[in-house]
């Protein structure tokens, strides 16, 4: 958790045109009566890149009046705002709090302060003797899916044990869970939170026992690896599993450091990056075993310069550089983030090795969720480019056919990688934010879906990137009815159904992917009714029930509706009353423990489990018929699968690197720059001499199933005439085998006139031989067909060609 509290009202000295956002509301008691004299504090927190420290002061604090009302304001000019927490307290009442998502602007809240309840216990040592004067902090509270951690209410959530080691918090609401931080000099600091989503203690408990073990200590030194010179002022952090064990600390003037108050166990010491600045050094984390009552000494942190990863981030529409973009990268050893500057560049210093790119994020832009790999070499800089699409916004009013505004109508843009449903207000007004990148290719229509279930009204309106305002008129929607039954024809109560709107190669729920919203449940007789389905489209209906298999009904056309109603008849689900088991082994046939195994079959219930110590797995509750079982070991490139029949014996799944996920990269391809262009014949490309003689060649490796690749080809197609006038021959290479008819249809649809080939052999070997590291991948030669540039963006093509032209003109 990398949070830092903004102390004081953030941004008060910002530009005069900065927008002020406000949190208004009321504090009430359990009977909803206003509470006068309640203290209401606002804490604003932002994500500070690679920060591990907390401030503890509120941004603003007010006292409620006789109506229980309050108002808290901050300036919204900071791109770094993530959330605010509003906390209310009054003597004789339980605490109340709520999160404020400040990116969405002003908000109105109601904070209820109920009857106070106690959470209490005792702190003891390992001999079960009370520990007086120990500091006990509530590390985390959870009520109604709303978390609160101690930095947001330090005085309210902290106390000391008495002479008998006892502690108590008497101002907490019921139905709240908690975990603790406890510490005292000479003892280990303990944190009862186990990093799971489940907290360990319930408000109302008064018999909690927290044990403080004798501390373990670690001592060491930080040095420069090349020279052995000690390094002062190097900030370090101590990790325990997936959380930090203590606050960050600095090495002393002589490079030494000492860590106290540790519980016995394994720890990892590593450098803490300097916020948004480029780190001067990097170092491999050091694992240390700390023993109770002992000091582990001689720990050595060795500083190196490592390599650099340079991110270049631009606006995908304007092409301009983007600042304040958070980029991140990591592997099993090292995870780092950075913010781009005004030039759109973010630099990260890394230990040499292979890393996964986790993407780029900026407020008001759609995230780029890259899943590529990159190799960082010692002393080298690796460059990576991201283009982010701005989020677009549509405002308007929803009405029925008589023009009456419809409060409560729901709207969302389809398809979208991040579904967000909005609800029209009392005047039927709405504001929908969507990802512009969904409109970039123009291959499929983008729809604004609007549904009003109460009146069985719906609409699906096609939009484009220029749509900013829209009045939506809803008309009668279609209603799906039917019955879900077992093999004997008996109705199944509680079966769940989901309607997906379908387009070629794509389907999406007509409401967001939220289990409480996007599924209809059958009644006690197994009957269902799904209202407000937009007419004029094709749908699928997915059905499942506990103890039964799944079923998907395809190609449901609303034009077949009678009086706006589609009767789906009886949907029969197979019984899931069988079991299947097997073993997961490695390449040598040795069983592998702790492997995640799951089912992946459309008609089978979804199951997931882990292999035991002998590599054995078992699934109960599966249907007769075929089943696909996948296996993979978390944190490794190992994976495998088997497609079999339920009832088959001696099922064996072999996991190996060859069958791993797409993130696995066996080795990095060698660069082609400075080398002759390889032969094109093996890629099913035959060019006439006129297209090659005295011509520069641009090769684009791409994948028609990947959006960035399609965008690249479309951009090149639009520049085809200009490129031809620059003596440039363009060739596109589909990097994997696809249906040639579908490929040709797509090329014709987008007026792609240059030759298109396709990888025929092992695509991994082809990519290695052509130096392809990611898709799309551009390779540019001079007129002698010597590769001069590779791996650049289309936006850089003119510049690359210009440089090659100048070099060619200088030749005698």
Domain boundary among 335, 362, 388: 388
Bigger pLDDT: 282 vs 746: 282
pLDDT of residue 794: 83
Identify the CATH number of the domain in which residue 616 sits.
2.60.40.1120
Q: Residue 178 has what pLDDT?
A: 94
To which residue do tokens 């069988």 refer? Answer: 578
* Residue 754, CB-side half-sphere exposure with 13 Å CA sphere: 24
User: Which residues, in sequence order, are bridge partners of residue 384?
Assistant: 311
- Nearest-5° Cα angle at 240, 236 to 242: 100
- Per-residue confidence (pLDDT) for residue 438, from 0 to 100: 52
Three-state DSSP state, 768: helix
781 inside domain: yes
**H or E segment to which residue 300 belongs:** strand 295-303
The predicted structure's pLDDT at residue 307: 95
Per-residue pLDDT tens over the stretch 67-85: 999 998 887 654 554 678 8
- Whether residue 291 sits in one domain with residue 204: no
- The pLDDT-based confidence of 122 (bands split at 50, 70, 90) is very high
Band of pLDDT at residue 418, cut at 50, 70 and 90: low
In angstroms, rounded to a whole number, what is the distance separating the alpha carbons of residues 769 and 771?
A: 6
**Same domain, yes or no, for 608 and 708?**
no
Distance from C-alpha of 713 to C-alpha of 735, rounded to nearest angstrom: 13
Are 688 and 789 within one domain?
yes
Q: Given a cut of 70, is residue 439 above it in pLDDT?
A: no
Instruction: Give the tens place of pLDDT for each residue, 468-493.
Output: 889 999 999 999 999 999 999 999 99
Q: Are residues 494 and 562 in the same domain?
A: yes
**Residue 709: pLDDT band with limits 50, 70, 90:** confident
Answer whether the bond into residue 415 is a cis peptide, omega within 30°: yes
Structure tokens at 374: 């990159």
- Answer yes or no: is 122 within a domain: yes
The CATH number given to whatever domain includes residue 268 is 2.60.40.10
Q: Are residues 298 and 312 in the same domain?
A: no
In order, the DSSP letters of 77-91 are --TTEEEEEEEEE-T
Range of the domain at 483: 478-572
pLDDT at 440 over 60: no
Mean pLDDT of the region 787-799: 85
Examine the domain organization and report whether 706 and 801 are in the same domain.
yes
Query: What pLDDT shows up at residue 12?
Result: 31
Judge if 316 and 288 occupy the same domain.
Answer: no
Same domain, 689 and 799: yes
Give domain status of residue 666, yes or no.
no
381 and 272 within one domain:
no
Domain membership flag for residue 128: yes
Contact 498, 519 (CB under 8 A): yes
Radius of gyration of the chain (CA): 31
Q: What residues does 201 pair with on adjacent strands?
A: 178
Q: Cβ–Cβ contacts within 10 Å for residue 480, how many?
A: 22
Q: Which has more pLDDT, 417 or 545? A: 545
Most confident of 130-139, 654-663, 790-799: 130-139
At a CB cut-off of 8 Å and minimum separation 6, what does 524 contact? 491, 493
What confidence score (pLDDT) does residue 768 get? 77
Span 447-475, average pLDDT = 89
Is the pLDDT at 216 greater than 70? The verdict is yes
Say how many domains are in the chain: 8
Q: Which of 560-569, 587-596, 646-655 has the lowest mean pLDDT?
A: 646-655
Instruction: Report the share of the chain in percent with pLDDT over 90.
Output: 49
Q: How far apart are CA 805 and CA 784, in angstroms?
A: 12
d(CA 435, CA 440): 10
pLDDT for the residue 48? 53
Categorize the per-residue pLDDT at 368 as very low, low, confident or very high, splitting at 50, 70 and 90: confident
**672 assigned to some structural domain:** no
At 747, which helix (H) or strand (E)?
Answer: helix 740-749
Token pair for 501: 């709107």
* Residue 674 lies inside a defined structural domain of this protein: no
Residue 803 forms part of a structural domain: yes
Q: Which residue has the higher pLDDT, 254 or 74?
A: 254
Return d(Cα 161, Cα 134) in angstroms, integer.
5
Summarised one tens digit per residue, pLDDT across range 620-631 is 999 998 899 999
At residue 663, the pLDDT reads 31
Among 212, 241, 266, give the residue marking a domain's end: 212
Asked whether the predicted pLDDT for residue 649 surpasses 60, the reply is yes
Residues 471 and 489 in one domain: no
- By DSSP bridging, strand 3-6 and strand 60-63 are unpaired
Return the higher-pLDDT residue of 588 and 307: 307
CB 85 within 8 A of CB 148: yes
Closest by alpha carbon to 249, among 217, 227, 278, 289?
Answer: 217
Question: Is residue 294 very low, low, confident or very high in pLDDT (cuts 50, 70, 90)?
Answer: very high
Query: Of the residues 82, 113, 144, which one is the last residue of a structural domain?
Result: 113
pLDDT in tens, 185-200: 999 999 998 766 688 9
pLDDT recorded at residue 658: 52
Is 673 part of any domain?
no
Give 14's pLDDT tier (boundaries 50, 70, 90).
very low
pLDDT at residue 522 greater than cutoff 90: yes
The reply to whether 587 and 686 lie within a common domain is no
Q: Are residues 702 and 791 in the same domain?
A: yes
Burial grade of 152 (CB within 10 A; 0-12, 13-18, 19 or more): buried
Which tokens is 208 given? 């909690």
Contact 202/176 with Cβ under 8 angstroms? Answer: yes
| Span 335-363, pLDDT tens digits | 888 989 999 999 999 999 989 888 888 87
Instruction: For residue 31, give every residue at least 6 positions away whose Cβ sits within 8 Å of its Cβ, in sequence order, or none.
Output: none
């Amino acid at each position: 958790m990398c949070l830092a509290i903004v102390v004081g009202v953030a941004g008060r000295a910002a530009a005069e045109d900065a927008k002020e956002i406000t949190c208004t509301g009321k504090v009430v008691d359990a009977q909803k009566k206003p509470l006068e004299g309640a203290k209401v504090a606002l804490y604003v927190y932002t994500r500070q890149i690679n920060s591990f420290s907390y401030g503890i002061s509120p941004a603003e604090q007010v006292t409620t009046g006789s109506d229980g009302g309050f108002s808290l304001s901050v300036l919204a000019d900071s791109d770094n705002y993530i959330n605010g927490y509003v906390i209310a307290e009054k003597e004789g009442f339980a605490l109340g709090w709520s999160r404020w998502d400040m990116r969405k602007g002003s908000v109105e809240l109601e904070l209820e302060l109920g009857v106070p309840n106690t959470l209490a216990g005792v702190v003891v040592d390992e001999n079960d003797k009370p520990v007086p004067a120990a500091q006990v902090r509530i590390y985390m509270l959870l009520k109604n899916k709303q978390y609160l951690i101690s930095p947001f209410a330090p005085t309210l959530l902290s106390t000391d044990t008495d002479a008998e080691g006892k502690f108590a918090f008497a101002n907490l609401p019921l139905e709240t869970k908690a975990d603790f931080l406890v510490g005292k000099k000479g003892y280990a600091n303990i944190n009862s939170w186990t990093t799971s989503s489940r907290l360990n203690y319930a408000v109302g408990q008064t018999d909690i026992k927290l044990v403080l073990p004798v501390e373990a200590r670690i001592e060491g030194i930080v040095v420069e690896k090349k020279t052995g010179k000690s390094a002062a002022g190097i900030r370090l952090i101590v990790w325990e599993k997936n959380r930090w064990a203590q606050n960050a600390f600095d090495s002393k003037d002589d490079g030494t450091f000492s860590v106290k108050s540790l519980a016995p166990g394994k720890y990892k010491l590593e450098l803490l990056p300097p916020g948004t600045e480029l780190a001067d050094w990097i170092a491999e984390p050091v694992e240390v075993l700390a023993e109770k009552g002992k000091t582990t000494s001689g720990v050595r942190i060795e500083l190196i310069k490592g390599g650099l990863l340079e991110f270049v981030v631009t606006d995908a529409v304007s092409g301009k550089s983007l600042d304040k973009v958070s980029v991140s990268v990591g592997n099993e050893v090292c995870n780092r983030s950075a913010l781009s500057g005004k030039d759109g560049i973010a630099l990260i210093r890394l230990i040499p090795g292979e890393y996964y790119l986790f993407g780029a994020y900026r407020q008001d832009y759609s995230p780029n969720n890259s899943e590529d790999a990159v190799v960082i070499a010692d002393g080298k800089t690796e460059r990576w480019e991201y283009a982010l699409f701005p989020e677009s916004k549509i405002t308007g009013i929803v009405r029925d056919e008589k023009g009456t505004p419809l409060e409560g109508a729901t709207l969302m843009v389809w398809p979208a990688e991040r579904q967000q449903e909005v609800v029209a207000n009392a005047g039927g007004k709405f504001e929908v934010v969507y990802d512009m990148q969904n409109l970039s290719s123009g291959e499929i229509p983008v729809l604004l879906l609007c549904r009003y279930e109460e009146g069985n009204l719906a609409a699906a309106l096609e939009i484009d990137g220029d749509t900013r305002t829209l009045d939506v008129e809803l008309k009668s929607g279609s209603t799906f009815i039917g019955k879900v039954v077992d093999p004997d024809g008996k109705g199944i109560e509680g079966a769940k159904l989901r309607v997906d709107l379908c387009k070629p190669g794509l389907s999406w729920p007509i409401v967001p992917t939220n289990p409480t919203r996007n599924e209809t449940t059958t009644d006690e007789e197994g009957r269902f009714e799904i209202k407000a389905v937009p007419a004029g489209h094709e749908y699928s209906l997915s059905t499942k029930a506990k103890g039964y298999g799944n079923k998907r009904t395809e190609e449901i056309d609303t034009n077949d509706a009678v009086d706006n109603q589609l009767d789906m008849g009886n949907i029969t689900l197979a019984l899931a009353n069988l079991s299947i088991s097997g073993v997961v082994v490695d390449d040598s046939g040795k069983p592998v423990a702790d492997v995640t195994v799951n089912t992946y079959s459309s008609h089978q219930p979804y199951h997931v489990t882990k292999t035991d110590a002998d590599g054995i797995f078992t699934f109960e509750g599966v249907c007769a018929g075929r089943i696909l079982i996948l296996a993979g070991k978390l944190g490794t490139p190992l994976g495998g699968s088997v497609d079999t029949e339920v009832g088959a014996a001696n099922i064996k799944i072999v996991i190996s690197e060859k069958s791993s996920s797409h993130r696995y990269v066996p080795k990095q391809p060698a660069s082609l720059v400075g080398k002759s262009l390889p032969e094109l014949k093996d890629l099913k490309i035959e060019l006439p001499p006129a297209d090659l003689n005295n011509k520069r060649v641009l090769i684009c490796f791409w994948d028609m199933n990947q959006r960035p690749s399609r965008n690249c080809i479309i951009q090149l197609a639009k520049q085809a005439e200009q490129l031809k006038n620059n003596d440039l021959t363009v060739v596109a290479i589909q990097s994997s085998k696809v249906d040639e008819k579908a490929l040709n249809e797509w090329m014709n649809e987008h007026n792609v006139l240059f030759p298109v080939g396709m990888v025929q052999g092992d695509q991994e070997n082809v990519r290695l031989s052509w130096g392809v590291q990611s898709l799309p991948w551009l390779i540019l030669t001079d007129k002698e067909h010597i590769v001069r540039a590779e791996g650049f963006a289309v936006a850089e093509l003119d510049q690359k060609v210009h440089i090659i032209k100048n070099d060619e003109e200088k030749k005698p």
